Structure 1
Amino acid sequence: MRQAPVNRIAEDAVKAWKITGAIFAGVLWLITIGLFIVAYLLEFTYWIGAVGILVSVLCSYLFVFLLPNLRWRRWRYEVFEQEIYIQHGILIVSRTLVPMIRVQHVDTKQGPILKKYKLASVQISTAATTHEIPALLEEDASELRDRISTLARVDEDDV
């Protein structure tokens, strides 16, 4: 069996994922509060709101405190001359090999949360799908994008 890839994503990815999880949890809390208001105005029982609180507490813990750290520990990648090796997943670990000859183009993307921590993601597109290496330092993402682009170039004589 092949060894796990050696490169990790940036540690600040955990902070970015925690903020994203907090935003998601905040939306759940707003929905839960809305359920209580509707139950009060329409004189329903409050058990729906109680279930909402339970779900909100559970999701807040999972998406803000537990999953970002586990996700960071599992995310690894490595770029070879002939392929890109990506490993990710918490319960189900996915190991993907992307042949360089199949790479059509490589992009970097950066949303407002990643920009705050000077992070960017690298997207590798093939004819079939798009693979992503999330939350690398901006400089590392640019260098990786350029390296993959260089390795993926194929001369017309090779086709």
Structure 2
Amino acid sequence: MREQPKNQISPDGLKVWRLQEIIISAVCLLIVIAVAVLSYYFHWPYWISGVLGAVWLLGSIVTVFIIPKVRHKVWRYEVHEHEIDIQSGIFVVTRVIVPMVRVQHVDTSQGPLLKKYNLATVKISTAATVHSIPALEMEEADRLRDSISRLARVTDDDV
């Protein structure tokens, strides 16, 4: 069996993932509050709000503190001359080898949270799908995009 890919994503990626989960958790909290208010006005059993609140609290703890840390620990990538090796997953760890001859184009993207931390996602497009390497420092993402593009072009010329 192959060794794990050597490169990890930026530690700031952990902060971004946590912020994303906090935003999602806040929206879910608003829903829980809305159900509590509706329970009061429509005389629904109060245990419904209590259960939803407990589920929200437990879910928020798991998604904000545990899952991003595990995700950061597992996410790895490595670019070789003839292939790109990407490992990801939380409960099921997936390992993808993308041959350079299959790469059609490479993009970098940056949303508002990634931009705040000077991070970017590298997207590698093949005919079948798009593979992503998230939360890389901007300089690393640019270097990686250019490197993959150059290697894919060279490999394409060799065929």
Q: TM-score, normalised to structure 2's length?
A: 0.96
The gaps in structure 2 that reach 5 residues or longer are: none
Q: CA deviation at 1:128?
A: 0.4
Q: Distance in 2 between matches of 1:137 and 1:126?
A: 23
Q: Give the AA of the match of 1:146.
A: D
Tell me whether 1:112 sits opposite 2:112 in the alignment: yes
Task: Tell me the equivalent position of 1:26.
Answer: 26
Q: Give the AA of the match of 1:48.
A: I
Q: Give the AA of the match of 2:110.
A: Q
Q: Distance in 2 between matches of 1:52 and 1:114?
A: 31
Q: Give the AA of the match of 2:76.
A: R
Query: How many residues align structurally?
Result: 157
Task: Tell me the equivalent position of 1:146.
Answer: 146
Q: Distance in 2 between matches of 1:4 and 1:51?
A: 41
Q: CA deviation at 1:63?
A: 1.2
Q: Distance in 1 between matches of 2:42 and 2:80?
A: 62
The gaps in structure 1 that reach 5 residues or longer are: none
Deviations 1:84-107 (A, max 9, x none): 000111221101000000000100
Tell me whether 1:121 sits opposite 2:96 in the alignment: no
Q: Give the AA of the match of 1:134.
A: P
Deviations 1:47-79 (A, max 9, x none): 221121011101110111111111101110000
Task: Tell me the equivalent position of 2:47.
Answer: 47
Tell me whether 1:76 sits opposite 2:76 in the alignment: yes
Which moved further from structure 2: 38-47 or 113-122? 38-47
% same residue: 53
Q: Distance in 2 between matches of 1:93 and 1:60?
A: 22
